[in-house]
Amino acid sequence: MADLGNILLFFLFPISVFTALTAYAAGVTKRRGLLEAARRGAYAAFAVTTLAVLALEYLLVTSDFSIEYVASNTNLALPLFYKMVALWAGHNGSLLLWTWIVTMFSAIVAYQHRHKNNDIMPYVIFTIAITMTFFSVLSVFIANPFETLYQEIGNTLQEFAVQDGRGLNPLLQHPAMIIHPPILFIGYVGSVVPFAFAIAALITGKLGTGWIHTTRRWALTTWGFLSVGIVLGGKWAYVELGWGGYWAWDPVENASLLPWLTATAYLHSVMIQERKGMLKVWNMALVISTYLLSVFGTFLTRSGIVSSVHAFANSGLGPAFAVFIGLSTILSILLLLYRRKDLKPDEEMESLVSRESGFLFNNLLFLLATIAVLWGTLFPVISEIFTGDQITVGPPWFNNIMIPIGLALLLLTGVGPLLAWRHTSVETMKRSFGYPILGSVVLVIILFFVGVKDGWALGSFAISFFVMWTIVVEFIKGAMVRRKNSGENFLKALYMLSRKNTRRYGGYIIHVAMVVMFIGFTGNAFNSETRAEVAEGDSFQLGPYDFKAIEIIHDQNDNYSAETLIMEMSRNGRLISTISPQKRYYFASEQPSTEVDIYTTLREDIYAVLSGMSNDGEKVIVQVYRNPFVSMVWIGAFILVVGTLFAMLPNYRESKSGGAK
């Protein structure tokens, strides 16, 4: 099976090259036969990569320890399900997954447009095929997951198989890691489709809104996957790493945030180009940046230039990624410069107090956030180049910069929809902003007198209230107008209003999701924690909660040994719950793992971690965190998914006419 996998990967490289060359030739010669050949090349690449993925899965499931990747990421005692998801546990397998998703998207795009957009499709397929070729080179020549184990006997190298593998990294043996990497990868890889259409538009000079309309749902879909992938990563960090939080401004976390920032900016600013013919260069730059930052995120994970709990060991892939990113950046910039005269705006901005300016300020803030995160992420590398020492930029630095930027962006989600196109009069501003501002001020006064003294927290709650007010009013006002004109009841009017413009109202739902998540983020201002060494029968407190150690259990199975602390949690003398944090030691990998236990309510999480044994070996060390509003982060993420799906629905009029065009 390993031989079959190698053969398939070696076929993938010439197929990818063939697809790229025939697609480019089809663009130059305008020959339909060459374009059809390129399409079939895309289909063939997907088929070959799919078979390669299945071959690797077979080797993982059957525990073929003659394969280095299998021996490094699985062992006999590993549950079957984790053997299957070990496909993306190491960098070789995850790169194969990356390649497979690229070929899948290439095949989907080729099939979707088999009867349309023939003027730009050759260059679309060509651009995706270049990415496909790059990743096929990595999988074949640098990070082949089908490499066998060798040992030196005499003067010859001979294949051999170990009796058992090293096992899956304990940190990855969690349900969130089953779906987090592939979802995040879809978000990363999906950026290649809008990028390919943008490059094709630049090459052909077809720079209207056609390529934007074609890629709208692709952009929104991949943004949605990237958003969910980031949240799932935060969930995994929260329940698996045992440090009490879900976001630490880790370099690899930041790498996933960077393309999300530029993609979010694009989804907002593209509406200005569609409606006003403005920000054309800006939108091109955002699409290109999103793709390049997605590849950069993959590079950062595998290059070894930064230290991260999420990163793979230095794999030697860094130089190849650096060259690819550098060439892609240079060629993209040259194309933009070549077409700069054709990308002039159709209209000029008339007023700083308008919806156009709101979108512009929104984009500038996203740009500032992207630069700040990129600078903070790469600062250790830059400092090492100039000083010889890596100077790490920690969470306080990021928080000091990103909190005000985040709150400003949140405020704009409420302000923007209230501004008129072209120019907003003073009377309109008074009418639109008066009550939301008054309500926010009243809320701040109430919160201050009930004990909330943190300035950023007060600002966050006030802005969240303001934005939520404006969104609810938008829904109610629209539904009331429709109800008056149509005679429908309020709920039906609200539904029909939303279905008539799913993009707009889906966007509002996403804004609601961001408000809810920001409330969750604000809870970090009120976190508290304690640490205690306890034996059976010992007690300790955290805020209004009392904890009593009931039992310490020692246990083991074929995969790991475990110590579990059973604790009773009470409040005001009333038993609330029993929580059981655990510490594991995995035999195959010889690595420890922390299994936290969390008592969750809408108001707060009680988060317990078993850190280890005391110095005298007679007690266990337990840390307990009290984290307010964490549930709001996960609830907000769910609302975001709903809003994204709703925004992707065709409008009601499109449904009646047979779907979106």
505 and 561 part of one domain:
no
Residue 377 lies in a domain: no
Residue 413 lies in a domain: yes
**How does DSSP classify residue 313?**
P
Mean pLDDT (whole number) for 478-498: 89
Angstrom distance (rounded) from CA 159 to CA 568: 54
- C-alpha distances (whole Å) from 589 to each of 84, 169, 315, 528 are 18, 7, 19, 34
User: 560-572: per-residue pLDDT in tens?
Assistant: 888 899 999 999 8
pLDDT computed for residue 658 by the predictor = 42
User: 341-387: per-residue pLDDT in tens?
Assistant: 888 887 777 777 778 888 888 899 999 999 999 999 888 878 877 77
Cα dihedral 420, 426, 428, 429 sign: positive
Mean pLDDT (whole number) for 496-520: 92
Confidence of residue 654 (pLDDT cuts 50, 70, 90): very low
Weakest mean pLDDT among 24-28, 239-243, 244-248, 394-398: 239-243
pLDDT computed for residue 154 by the predictor = 61
pLDDT computed for residue 660 by the predictor = 40
pLDDT computed for residue 661 by the predictor = 34
Beta carbons of 228 and 649 less than 8 angstroms apart:
no
pLDDT computed for residue 305 by the predictor = 63
502 and 643 part of one domain:
yes
Confidence of residue 96 (pLDDT cuts 50, 70, 90): very high
Checking DSSP bridges between strand 620-628 and strand 574-579, what pairing results, if any? unpaired
155 and 190 part of one domain:
no
- Is pLDDT of 21 > 50? yes
User: 276-288: per-residue pLDDT in tens?
Assistant: 888 889 999 999 9
151 and 87 part of one domain:
yes
Residue 347 lies in a domain: no
506 and 601 part of one domain:
no
Q: Which residue has the higher pLDDT, 391 or 73?
A: 73
- Is pLDDT of 302 > 90? no
Buried b (16+ CB within 10 A) or exposed e, 71-102: bbbbbeebeeebbebbbbbbbbbbbbbbbbbb
Angstrom distance (rounded) from CA 553 to CA 111: 58
Task: Decide which of 132, 167, 202 is a domain's last residue.
Answer: 167
- Is pLDDT of 613 > 70? yes
Residue 545 lies in a domain: yes
Domain count across the chain: 4
- Is pLDDT of 657 > 50? no
261 and 310 part of one domain:
yes
- Is pLDDT of 24 > 90? yes
How far does Cα 343 stand from its chain's mean position?
A: 30
pLDDT computed for residue 216 by the predictor = 87
> Which alpha helices (DSSP H) does 388-454 contain, by range?
395-415, 426-449
Angstrom distance (rounded) from CA 326 to CA 312: 22
495 and 590 part of one domain:
no
Confidence of residue 124 (pLDDT cuts 50, 70, 90): very high
Angstrom distance (rounded) from CA 475 to CA 495: 10
Angstrom distance (rounded) from CA 508 to CA 85: 36
Phi, psi (degrees; rounded to nearest 5) at 345: -65, 150
Mean pLDDT (whole number) for 181-200: 93
pLDDT computed for residue 272 by the predictor = 86
Beta carbons of 529 and 624 less than 8 angstroms apart:
yes
Residue 532 lies in a domain: yes
Angstrom distance (rounded) from CA 286 to CA 293: 10
Beta carbons of 267 and 223 less than 8 angstroms apart:
yes
14 and 154 part of one domain:
yes
150 and 216 part of one domain:
no
Q: Got the DSSP string for 175-227?
A: HHHHHHHHHHHHHHHHTHHHHHHHHHHHHHT--SSHHHHHHHHHHHHHHHHHH
Confidence of residue 659 (pLDDT cuts 50, 70, 90): very low
Weakest mean pLDDT among 53-62, 138-147, 561-570: 138-147
- Is pLDDT of 656 > 50? no
Residue 395 lies in a domain: no
Q: What angle do CA 213, 219, 225 make, to 5 degrees?
A: 150
Residue 388 lies in a domain: no
180 and 283 part of one domain:
yes
Mean pLDDT (whole number) for 283-294: 94
Mean per-residue pLDDT of the chain: 87
In the structure encoding, which two tokens stand for residue 417, read together?
């929809």
Range of the domain at 206: 174-341+359-371
Confidence of residue 155 (pLDDT cuts 50, 70, 90): low
Note the residue count of the chain: 661
409 and 471 part of one domain:
yes
**How does DSSP classify residue 537?**
T
User: 408-467: per-residue pLDDT in tens?
Assistant: 999 998 888 777 777 777 777 778 888 889 999 999 999 999 888 899 999 999 999 999
Weakest mean pLDDT among 303-317, 557-571, 607-621: 303-317
- CB-based burial label for 535 (10 Å; 0-12, 13-18, 19+): exposed
- Is pLDDT of 308 > 80? no
pLDDT computed for residue 307 by the predictor = 57
pLDDT computed for residue 531 by the predictor = 93
Predicted TM-score (pTM) above 0.85: yes
Confidence of residue 655 (pLDDT cuts 50, 70, 90): very low
pLDDT computed for residue 306 by the predictor = 61
Residue 352 lies in a domain: no
486 and 500 part of one domain:
yes
Would you state the torsion angle of the CA atoms of residues 3, 66, 79, 244, taken in this order, to the nearest 10 degrees? -100
Q: Got the DSSP string for 50-83?
A: HHHHHHHHHHHHTT-TTBHHHHHH--TTS-HHHH
